[in-house]
Amino acid sequence: MKWHDNVVRLQAPVCITWQITNKCNLRCIHCLANSSKRKPDELTMEEIKAFLDDLAAMHVFYINVGGGEPLLHPNFFEIADYAEEKGVYIQFSTNGTLINRDIAKMIAERNLRVQVSLDGWKQEINDHIRGAGTFDKAINAVQLLIERKVVVSVNCVVTKSNIKDLDNIYQLVISLGAKLRLSRLRPSGRAMESTERWRELSPDSQQYVYLYHWLKEHPDVNTGDSFFFLSALGEPLPGLSYCGAWDLTCSVDPQGNIYPCPFTVTSNLLVGNIRNKPLSKWWQELPVITQISGEESPVCTACANYPKCHGGCRGASYLVYGDWNKPDPDCLKRVSLDQQGS
């Protein structure tokens, strides 16, 4: 069986993740995009408008704008206005450090949705990952946005160091009037300087089992479907149970390069560039990407849990094993079998 056979391929992506700039004022140790300075050949406004025109024509519903830090893009609000004019929703991720009263007002006026990053419920945990002073600034940003009635979610990348405090971060976020979103630490960007480094930062198997049960008890916590590999542990988590890369979604980097998802930003998985051809053309002409259309691992297809997780995150498999079709590197099948005494 090919893993791709499990997936309904849409005529256009539901959403796009767009790294609007590589420029960032922080150097988070797990940054998936390895962001730092603006790249010299990032898309021009003219190219960005053509890109947004194309997304609107494809009926893409929304864009997850990330970076880098989107608020460091000199035309961020102009771009948001253009997308709005074209009928494409924008939601963006920010580290929150640049949000003051004026910026909060501009965000509120545009009805943009914001995701503020916070990786711990207290300063020492968060700032160890995101840098000194970032905890206070992120909290301040959330408060300013909530005052303006902006829909805010606080995104926490789950790591070995913060997973034990999920109850605390949940309480903190709820008390601020925001929603909590938890994301999986993918083996990409700075978190993947080496596989050992990623393993060092990632939750271990027992912690993931804990997370599965915690998520079942907190259905109001959004995960962006990033933990569907945990569904192998029992009753499936809500949302997608398979990888939607290049079937439901894709990612575009600041220079217009297209990748199956925001975690697989690697030259081997480069689909193309929107400077050469609009995304809609790439989407139609390349229904399957050769590198990711291979046979599913027999280890997965023989597993009783396969219908619940479909092998997990394909990008994680690729980035750790160099093979899109291997089982998810955090597969907990062994854990569940152990727990059952098999």
Taking the complex as a whole, the smallest distance from the CB of residue 63 to other proteins amounts, in Å, to 12
CB 131 within 8 A of CB 26: yes
Nearer CB in complex with other proteins: 11/268:
11
Two structure tokens written together for 247: 């079937």
Closest to 107 in 3D by CA, of 56, 138, 151: 151
Decide: helix, strand or coil at residue 72. helix
Chain residues 40-69 in contact with other proteins, contact rule CB under 8 A: 59, 61-62
Q: How far is the CB of 62 from other proteins (least distance, A)?
A: 7
Measured between alpha carbons, how far is 135 from 317 in angstroms, rounded to an integer? Answer: 32
49: amino acid identity, one letter: K
Closest to 74 (Cα-Cα) out of 279, 284, 254: 254
CA-CA distance, 151 to 113, in Å (whole number)? 5
Min separation Cβ 263 and other proteins, Å: 20
**Residue 173 Cβ vs other proteins, minimum distance, rounded to whole Å:** 17
Of residues 156 and 265, the one with the C-beta less far from other proteins: 156
CB 1, min distance to other proteins, A: 20
- For residue 17, state whether it binds other proteins (rule: CB under 8 A): no
Two tokens at 100? 């003051």
Interface with other proteins includes 12 (CB under 8 A)?
yes
Q: Which of residues 203-222 bind other proteins (CB under 8 A)?
A: 222
Residue 73-92 contact track with other proteins, rule CB under 8 A, x = bound:
--------------x-x---
342 near other proteins (CB under 8 A): no
Retrieve residue 165's tokens.
């405090």
C-alpha to C-alpha distance for 249 and 58, rounded to whole angstroms: 12
For other proteins, the binding residues (CB under 8 A) are: 8, 10-12, 14, 59, 61-62, 87, 89, 222
